[in-house]
């Protein structure tokens, strides 16, 4: 692809890689927290830092995009890809922040399972994003995208089961309000990963 | 319009018709369920099948769109139209799934009323979509779009009344949590239909 | 900018100004209501009128946009800008409507604080929008956008504190359900203002 010869464009790929790395950092840390089983102020501070740093990369991409005439693929796709990668980190921050606000310092088994699937999915997204700089990778990128889509379906089933169990066994409505939202947040992270997989697939198809 | 002479483009219209037909199938089935008054595992299985089939048509459209150079109207509009038609079916599945998870097997009068308005609205969308292949239909398409917009307003009033009644009469907070979300889901289906009407109107205006 | 010499284009700026004026009217009225401390049917009627009038301006913009060949900036940006300005008024209507449905006629201190920040933010958006017709204003527009972004962060902290207080002190789950949603609505208005600031910034950068 012609655009690959333009040094300027490489920066977009570098910056997508950086965004993906922050998303992975957030997801790995979230899994670590849920397997430890406790969320505290320290955890919130750490994820807030990751979120801020990821934010800066996103701003740089949007700024560059507005200034750059030739882009490695569709301007709109770059915009969406950057936005969605940023959304992953934001959403991991949101869920940890909400756990703190709701004083849900003891994490349950359901959330720990979600965190594992989220980590897997974000790692899949990272591999797909890294592949983007060379269209020779398109077959393996597609496989990562299919896997991310599969994990979103896994997440749907997990959320449905977790909610059914919550409503079937829990009597305290305030507890239900809190956990219902946490499970939906967790599923939202997998939805964003699926959106990312779809965005990446459509970039591939256009360049085929 | 020149594009109408290209055989390839007709497939987009055929596929939009298919999507609309699935949306109607889902809405008609939902109304049937709510007038019978019970939701069971069988119902969930049936709506899941409709949702899967509708999904495949949507994927085909997106795939074709990425591969096709000449399209009957704006690429972005095709994308949005396909996405929104798919969202209707998804949302009908979501509401039936949620009724199952919340063990709300006995449907109330408010939801049955919603289901009637939803059916009407989706039928309006189907007529508007079918009209799209010939711009001579633009006047009648516009009338369907106006009607879909009107039904969205009807739905807003219904949701407000249903929620006011729920909060005024119900004492069990868990029951409130459940039905509040169901009513909002129902209204969301009408919102998506309104989005569809707006998308279709803007396609018409651009081709006028 | 060449487009500035075309009389037609001026109408877009005039209409954006009108939309922004309705957003300000809604925000100022909302602050007034919250400082008075009571919401009644009269208030709902007044905000509904503002919402209807703002809606008409938005429809005119979208219609004109679809018919106009040359636009003062990116078509998509005009569309997004019009949509987001409309969303501000819609959301102020939504929050007042919800307060009425939930019979929350007595406003609390937290919401009054939110209303002040919302008013400030919407005034910032109005100044930024007004500046758009002359790119010489770009420096001051940017400053307004930075301020609107800052106020969104202020709103995030306010919502987190309000929710923490609500869950820490309130025992009635139905009361929690109601106020949780009201606080989130309030924060959503600031989110929309932030989206507007980002849209405006990207318009500026493209024209630099």
**What is residue B107's predicted lDDT score, i.e. its pLDDT?**
85
Chains touching C (at least 3 CB pairs under 8 A) are A, B
Q: For C160, how many CA atoms within 13 A lie in the half-sphere containing its CB?
A: 17
HSE value, Cβ hemisphere, 13 Å, CA-based, for B130 = 13
Mean predicted lDDT score pLDDT of chain A: 92
The reported pLDDT for the residue numbered A7 is: 47
Closest chain A C-alpha to C177 CA, distance in angstroms: 8
Distance CA C27, CA C95 (A): 11
- In this predicted structure, what is the pLDDT of residue A6? 46
DSSP states of chain B as a string? -GGGG-HHHHHHHHHHHHHHHHHHHHHHHHHHHHHHTB--HHHHHHHHHHHHHHHHHHHHHHHHHHH-SS-SS-HHHHHHHHHHHHHHHHHHHHHHHHHHHTT--B--HHHHHHHHHHHHHHHHHHHHHHHTT-GGGHHHHHHHHHHHHHHHHHHHHHHHHHHHHHHHH---HHHHHHHHHHHHHHHHHHHHHHHHHHHHHHHHHHH-
Report whether A133 contacts A4 (CB < 8 A). Answer: yes
A1 found inside a domain: no
* Residue A11 pLDDT: 85
Calculate the average pLDDT of chain B: 92
Q: What percent of chain B has pLDDT over 90?
A: 75
- C-beta atoms of A173 and B177 within 8 A: yes
Give the confidence band of A172 by pLDDT, cuts at 50, 70, 90. Answer: very high
Q: Do A173 and B178 touch (CB under 8 A)?
A: no
pLDDT tens digits, B36-89: 888 888 999 999 999 999 999 999 998 888 788 788 888 889 999 999 999 999
> Scanning every residue of chain C, which has its alpha carbon at the shortest distance from the alpha carbon of A100?
C164
A37-47 as b/e: b if 16+ CB within 10 A: eebeeebbeeb
CB atoms within 10 A of CB B208: 8
Is pLDDT at A56 greater than 90 in this prediction? Answer: yes
The distance of C143 to chain B (nearest Cα, Å) reads: 33
Q: What is the pLDDT of residue C87?
A: 97
The pTM of the whole model exceeds 0.90: yes
Query: Among A62, A101, A177, whose Cβ lies nearest the Cβ of C173?
Result: A177
Residue identified by tokens 């097997």 is: B105
Asked if A27 and A114 count as a contact pair (C-beta separation under 8 A), the reply is no
Find the length of chain A: 208
- Cβ contact C124:C151 at 8 Å: yes
Reply yes or no on whether the pLDDT at A51 is more than 60.
yes
Query: Is C178 in Cβ contact with B167 (below 8 Å)?
Result: yes
CB contact under 8 A, C202 and A62: yes
Does the interface predicted TM-score (ipTM) exceed 0.85? yes
Scored b (16 or more CB within 10 A) or e, C6-44 reads eeebeebbebbbbbbbbbbbbbbbbbebbeeeebeeebb
Number of domains comprising chain A: 1
Residue B187, pLDDT score: 97
Alpha carbon of C19: minimum distance to chain B alpha carbons (Å): 19
Per-residue model confidence (pLDDT) at position C7 = 47
Q: Which of C66, C87, C180 to mutate to test the interface with B (most CBs of B within 10 A)?
A: C66
Mutate to test the interface with B, among A167, A168, A170, A191 (most CBs of B within 10 A): A167
DSSP assignment letter at C70: S
Amino acid B10: pLDDT: 55
Beta carbons of C168 and C110 less than 8 angstroms apart: no
Average pLDDT score over residue span C153-179: 97
- Judge whether residue B204 has pLDDT over 80: yes
For residue A106, what are the β-bridge partners? A38
Residue A142 is predicted with a pLDDT of 95
- The two structure tokens encoding residue C15: 């209409």
Which region holds residue A29: left if phi is over 0, alpha if psi is between -120 and 50, else beta? Answer: alpha
List the CATH number of the domain containing A155: 1.20.58.220
The answer to whether the CB of A183 falls within 8 A of the CB of A114 is yes
pLDDT reported for residue C2? 46
Residue C5: both structure tokens together = 């010499």
Beta bridge partners of B38: B106
Tell me the two tokens of residue B64.
């074709």
Considering only CB atoms, which chain A residues are within 8 Å of C208?
67
**Residue B97 and residue A180: Cβ atoms within 8 Å?**
no
Residues of chain A with Cβ-Cβ distance to B67 below 8 Å are: 205, 208
Report residue C9's pLDDT band, with 50, 70 and 90 as the boundaries. low
R_g over Cα of chain C: 18
Assigned token pair, A168: 């079937």
Q: Which pLDDT belongs to residue A10?
A: 55
Higher pLDDT, B1 or A197: A197
Helix (H) or strand (E) holding C145: helix C138-169
Confidence class for position C1, pLDDT limits 50, 70, 90: very low
Q: Are C66 and B202 a contacting pair at CB < 8 A?
A: yes
Q: pLDDT (tens digit, 9 = 90+) per residue, B157-201? A: 999 999 999 999 999 999 999 999 999 999 999 999 999 999 999
Q: How many CB pairs under 8 A join B and C?
A: 25
Whole-number Å distance between alpha carbons of B167 and C199: 38
Kindly list the partner chains of chain A, i.e. chains with 3 or more CB atom pairs below 8 Å: B, C
| DSSP label at residue C38 | B
Between C8 and B105, where is the model more confident?
A: B105
**At A8, is the pLDDT very low, low, confident or very high (cuts 50, 70, 90)?**
low
Chains linked to B by 3 or more Cβ pairs within 8 Å: A, C
Supply φ then ψ for residue B106, to 5 degrees.
-100, 115
The mean per-residue pLDDT over the stretch A83-112 comes to: 95
Q: Are B57 and B90 in contact (CB under 8 A)?
A: no
Evaluate whether C68 touches C8 at the Cβ level (below 8 Å): yes
Residue B171 phi/psi, 5° resolution?
A: -105, -20
Q: State the residue range of the domain holding B183.
A: 2-207
Percent of chain C scoring above 90 in pLDDT: 75
Give how far B164 is from chain C: nearest CA, Å: 5
A117/B159 Cα distance (integer angstroms):
36
Q: What are phi and psi of B38, to 5 degrees?
A: -135, 145
3-state SS of chain A is CHHHHCHHHHHHHHHHHHHHHHHHHHHHHHHHHHHHCECCHHHHHHHHHHHHHHHHHHHHHHHHHHHCCCCCCCHHHHHHHHHHHHHHHHHHHHHHHHHHHCCCCECCHHHHHHHHHHHHHHHHHHHHHHHCCCHHHHHHHHHHHHHHHHHHHHHHHHHHHHHHHHHHHCCCHHHHHHHHHHHHHHHHHHHHHHHHHHHHHHHHHHHC
Per DSSP, the three-state class of C208 is: coil
How far does CA A140 lie from the centroid of its chain? 19
Cβ <8 Å between C173 and B168 = no
CB contact under 8 A, A103 and C167: yes
Of the candidates C87, C96, C90, the residue with the CA atom closest to the CA atom of residue C115: C96
What value does the mean pLDDT of chain C take?
A: 92
């Amino acid at each position: 692809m012609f655009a690959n010869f333009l040094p300027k464009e490489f920066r977009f790929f570098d910056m997508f890689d950086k965004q993906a790395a922050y998303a992975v950092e957030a997801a790995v840390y979230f899994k670590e927290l849920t397997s430890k089983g406790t969320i505290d102020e320290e955890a919130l501070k750490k994820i807030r830092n990751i979120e801020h740093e990821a934010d800066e990369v996103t701003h740089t991409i949007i700024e560059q995009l507005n200034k750059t005439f030739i882009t490695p693929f569709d301007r709109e796709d770059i915009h969406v890809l950057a936005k969605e990668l940023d959304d992953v980190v934001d959403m991991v921050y949101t869920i940890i922040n909400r756990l703190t606000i709701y004083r849900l310092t003891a994490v349950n088994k359901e959330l720990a399972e979600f965190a594992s699937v989220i980590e897997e999915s974000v790692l899949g997204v990272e591999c797909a994003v890294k592949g983007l700089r060379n269209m020779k990778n398109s077959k393996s990128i597609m496989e990562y995208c299919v896997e991310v889509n599969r994990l979103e379906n896994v997440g749907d089933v997990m959320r449905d089961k977790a909610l059914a169990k919550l409503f079937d066994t829990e009597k305290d409505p305030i507890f239900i309000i809190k956990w219902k939202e946490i499970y939906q947040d967790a599923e939202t992270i997998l939805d964003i990963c699926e959106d990312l997989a779809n965005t990446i697939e459509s970039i591939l198809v256009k360049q085929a």
